[in-house]
Amino acid sequence: MKSHGDAEAAPLKGAGNGAKITPAGGPTQTVGGGLDAVRLEVYRHLFTALTEEMGAALRRAAYSPNIKERRDYSCALFSPAGVVVAQGDHMPVHLGAMPMSVEAALRELGVLESGDVACLNDPFRGGTHLPDITLVAPVYAPHAPTLLGYVASRAHHADVGGSTPGSMPLAREIYQEGLRLPPVRLVRRGERVQDLWRLLLANVRTPEEREGDLDAQLAALHTGARRLEELVARRGEPVVLEAMDALVAYADRLVLAGLARITPGRYRAEDVMDDDGFGHSEIPIRVALDVRPERLVVDFTGSAPQTEGGINAVAAITASATRYVVRCVVEALLGEPLPAGGGSMRAVELRLPPRSIVAAAAPAGVAAGNVETSQRITDVLLRAFANALPEVVPALSQGTMNNITVGGLDPRTDAPFAYYETVGGGMGAGPQGPGLSGVHTHMSNSLNTPIEALEHAYPFRIVEYSIRRGSGGAGVHPGGDGLRRDLAVLTDAQVTLLCERRHHPPTGAAGGSDGAPGENLLIRADGTEECLPGKVTFYARAGDVVSVSSPGGGGWGAPQPRGDAAP
């Protein structure tokens, strides 16, 4: 995937190795030096299992409910050239952007030696937003200087400083959003860089939790490195490295095969963000897909300039959403999944207007760009592909992550707490069937925080958690319903909401109806209710209830009118 424009967006580089394996349905052939399709499929699963085990290790060792329960993390394996080979079934918004973080770490730190761990969260260097901290470690062959690849883990930390607890404020610039880390060595030759650890932990509200979660990320890297070393010991270094390159090349060939099934032409779409939290509304995102033989140009020219509020998406976010949608479309057309790394996407050219809402430059605020604008970019891309493939692309899903952050002093411990969660909603229906209800969709792949875990960890009570029946759009296949989640705070706390689709609902497809928009309420302890905007920071008092109702998904297909009842 190549990216054009003045925004700080490095291309996602691939590894060309002359692979000869054919896409699905073709004859089995050899790849490179002799790997046939069956053996390559074995390596595909081995590499994917490695990243899934990394995720399991991270989850088990994590301290915060956001990582342990919601699974707001991602892990990946990269080749020695820094090309993504395999990813766990984790967070799409993380995984699509992580290659840019790895590239930035290698570019700015140079050679990572055995035992080194690079750390960064800078959105303008391949990060997504500041709470997402990425760790990268090289893997060398035991007793040899040969580089086998890199392992990386990214996790959303519930607080990294900034002007509000949870580090997801309504901010006009990134300096208000928390501690910003360029690529630095968190571990050098197996030893912690203590000065950096102390600096990082001194700038967050919950240092013990942050240290525990960072240690969990290190455990994930250790797990991935050991499994890669074991794989090389069993199969041999040349074959494993060849399989990495062959998988990337195979995925690229599948992308080409999928694009070949789309009628060449130019397909346009646009949508808007509700607002940026500072009075700017109806903020457009536009895209034109230029489908050519063996090439897809994705052009966001005409999208709004970067805005005052923190809904700006950096280039890594837009690249991530583009990778995700292209992968979904290709897999739907071919009827089989791409290898877990998705390939280099070298057939996809991304054109981004500089200093825009889809390619923001410092010092723009970007906290909501990762969680909200990424969803709208996905929606716009799906709308464009629907013009070319109306019988393939589903209706729009809820189009928001409904972000909630709450922080204050826990009266049980007299210590600060910081809580972060997203709320699921309705999935858009598609030609194959109805949408699911109450799930996270598209760029989010997290779970809910179980009520028991939430009430144990924080001074909260959940007083309602229910499906919004009828909020999904009608259709031959109806859209999924949204959720209502009412959270009562048991102590005075500062609350921030970052939500979308409060004014413009998710649209149906092929004649299906739109889903219902979302709604936010503050229910005071005395029973009075106040409608809240989609993006707001306020102080809640003990006994107040924050109620978030998420949007339903769009319906697919025009509903058929019922005939008159038989006499």
Three-state SS for 66-115 is HHHCCCCEEEEEECCCCCEEEECCCCHHHHHHHHHHHHHHHHHHCCCCCC
Q: Does a structural domain hold residue 418?
A: yes
Domain count within the chain: 2
Q: Does a structural domain hold residue 177?
A: yes
Q: What is the average pLDDT across 373-392?
A: 97
pLDDT at 9: 37
Q: Does a structural domain hold residue 175?
A: yes
Reported as a single tens digit per residue, the pLDDT across 176-192 is 999 999 999 999 999 99
Give long-range contacts, CB 8 A cutoff, 24+ apart: 28-36: 31/242, 31/246, 31/249, 31/250, 32/242, 32/245, 32/246, 33/238, 33/242, 35/239, 35/242, 35/243, 35/246
Reported as a single tens digit per residue, the pLDDT across 419-468 is 999 999 999 999 999 999 999 999 988 888 999 999 999 999 999 999 99
pLDDT at 279: 95
Residue indicated by tokens 């600096």: 199
67 in Cβ contact with 219 (< 8 Å): no
Q: Residue 509's domain spans which residues?
A: 394-567
Strands 2-4 and 348-351: parallel
Q: What is the average pLDDT across 317-346?
A: 93
C-alpha torsion 374→338→329→257, nearest 10: 130
Q: Which of 318, 445, 291 is CA-nearest to residue 376?
A: 318
pLDDT at 3: 62
Q: Which of 253, 193, 224, 206 is CA-nearest to residue 40?
A: 253
Q: Does a structural domain hold residue 287?
A: no
342 in Cβ contact with 327 (< 8 Å): yes
Q: Does a structural domain hold residue 544?
A: yes
Could you give the CA distance from residue 393 to residue 512 in angstroms, rounded to a whole number? 13
Which one of 250, 273, 308 terminates a domain? 250
pTM, 2 dp: 0.92
Q: Does a structural domain hold residue 283?
A: no
Partners of residue 557 on adjacent β-strands: none
Which one of 225, 250, 275 terminates a domain? 250
Kindly report the length of the chain: 567
Q: Does a structural domain hold residue 448?
A: yes
pLDDT at 4: 56
Which one of 191, 215, 250 terminates a domain? 250
Q: Does a structural domain hold residue 415?
A: yes
